[in-house]
């Protein structure tokens, strides 16, 4: 149970670096995701099994979502948004494991994810439109919007991670309070609600990341919804 949502518990130190519990949990989740992915994609075939079909469903749905939202070829963005969604989903759902504190219930984790989205937005904007083209997007629809657009870059990033932090932290906090007051089985409905909330928040975070990045990149003509934007080659 979390004593305070704003207090960090240090699990151990690596030299002078304090390793907080969310970081350790994140490493565990990363290990689970990476090992699981490596095992699941070890023997991919043209005739898919159940696991491969499920993975392909995830990737195909993700590509469709990117195409529908950003109107671009999903290949450069697939790993970013897919990882954000899977990690946040898994982190949120880790709350159901007794004794595990969701990393997304900590402000630093959500801020780090939002920081990655912020940097990725700038990177893809510069990559696709160049410096001048990217800077021009701040003057749209008119030059007077430049200050507001600059502020928006910061505020929407804050709203992105504060929304995730608030929803997950509040869920965990409520469950902890109810558990301390009512006993063992009472928080179960609230935990089930947390599962739904965690999935919705993961989807919202990933979708907003797509929207922010899509606003920074130029839409491609050959990536209309429903078209096959995937091309052979390395991502």
Partner 1 sequence: MRIDWWTLSLQTINAVVLIWLLAYFLFKPVANVIAERKAAAGRLLDEAEQAKSDAQAARENEQATLAEMAERRSAALNAAKQEAEAQREALLATARAEAERMREEARAELARQATLGLEAQMKHASALAVGMTKRLVDRFPQSSLVSGFIAGLAAAAAALPPEAKADFEQDGDARLKAPRPLTAQEEADCRHALEIGFGRPVAFSVEIDPSVIAGLELENRHATVHNSLRADLARMAAALDGHDAE
- Contact positions vs partner 1 (CB under 8 A): 6, 8, 17-20, 22-23, 26-27, 30, 33-34, 37-38, 40-41, 44-46, 48, 52, 55-56, 58-60, 63, 75, 78-80, 82-84, 86-87, 103, 106-109, 111-113, 115-116, 228, 230-232, 234-235
Could you give the CA distance from residue 90 to residue 230 in angstroms, rounded to a whole number?
A: 27
Q: Which is nearer to partner 1, 88 or 175 (CB)?
A: 88
Between CA 157 and CA 175 the distance in angstroms is: 27
What is each CA distance from 63 to 38, 58, 67, 152, in whole angstroms? 21, 9, 6, 27
| Least Å from the CB of residue 37 to partner 1 | 4
Copy the structure tokens of residue 215.
């606003």
Angle between helices 75-93 and 21-40 (to 10 degrees): 120
Q: Which residues contact 195 (CB under 8 A, 6 or more apart)?
A: 92, 93, 96
> 69 or 109: whose CB is closer to partner 1?
109
SS3 content of the chain, % helix, strand, coil (to 5): 70, 5, 25
- Counting every residue, how long is the chain? 235
Closest approach, Cβ 29 to partner 1, in A, equals: 9
**CB closer to partner 1 out of 187 and 205:** 205
Q: Which residue's CB is nearer to partner 1, number 19 or number 146?
A: 19
- The CA distance from 208 to 202, in Å, is 10
Minimum CB separation from partner 1 for residue 78, in Å?
5
The answer to whether the Cα torsion of 150, 158, 125, 71 is positive or negative is: negative
In the complex, the smallest distance separating the C-beta of residue 159 from partner 1, rounded to whole angstroms, is 16
Q: Kindly tell me which of 52 and 128 has the beta carbon lying closer to partner 1.
A: 52
Q: Of 71 and 106, which CB lies nearer to partner 1 in the complex structure?
A: 106
User: Least distance (Å) from partner 1 to the CB of residue 218?
Assistant: 23
* Other CB atoms within 10 A of residue 221 CB: 8
Q: Which is nearer to partner 1, 35 or 200 (CB)?
A: 35
Cβ of residue 136: shortest distance to partner 1, in angstroms?
28
Minimum CB–partner distance for residue 152 and partner 1 (Å): 22
- Dihedral angle, C-alpha 6, 110, 129, 74, nearest 10 °: -170
């Amino acid at each position: 149970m979390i004593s305070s949502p704003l207090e960090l518990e240090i699990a151990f130190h690596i030299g002078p670096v304090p390793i907080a519990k969310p970081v350790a949990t994140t490493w565990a989740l990363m290990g689970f995701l990476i090992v699981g992915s490596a095992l699941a994609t070890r023997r991919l075939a043209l005739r898919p099994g159940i696991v491969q079909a499920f993975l392909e469903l995830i990737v195909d749905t993700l590509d469709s979502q990117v195409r529908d939202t950003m109107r671009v070829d999903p290949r450069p963005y697939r790993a970013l948004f897919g990882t954000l969604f899977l990690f946040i989903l898994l982190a949120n759902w880790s709350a159901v494991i007794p004794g595990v504190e969701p990393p997304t219930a900590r402000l630093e984790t959500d801020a780090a994810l939002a920081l990655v989205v912020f940097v990725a937005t700038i990177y893809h904007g510069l990559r696709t439109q160049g410096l001048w083209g990217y800077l021009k997007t701040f003057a749209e629809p008119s030059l007077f919007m430049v200050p507001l657009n600059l502020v928006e870059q910061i505020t929407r990033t804050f709203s992105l991670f504060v929304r995730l932090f608030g929803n997950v932290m509040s869920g965990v906090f409520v469950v902890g309070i109810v558990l301390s007051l009512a006993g063992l089985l009472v928080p179960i409905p609230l935990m089930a609600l947390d599962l739904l909330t965690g999935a919705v928040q993961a989807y919202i975070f990933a979708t907003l990341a797509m929207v922010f990045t899509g606003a920074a990149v130029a839409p491609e003509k050959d990536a209309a919804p429903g078209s096959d934007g995937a091309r052979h080659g390395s991502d």
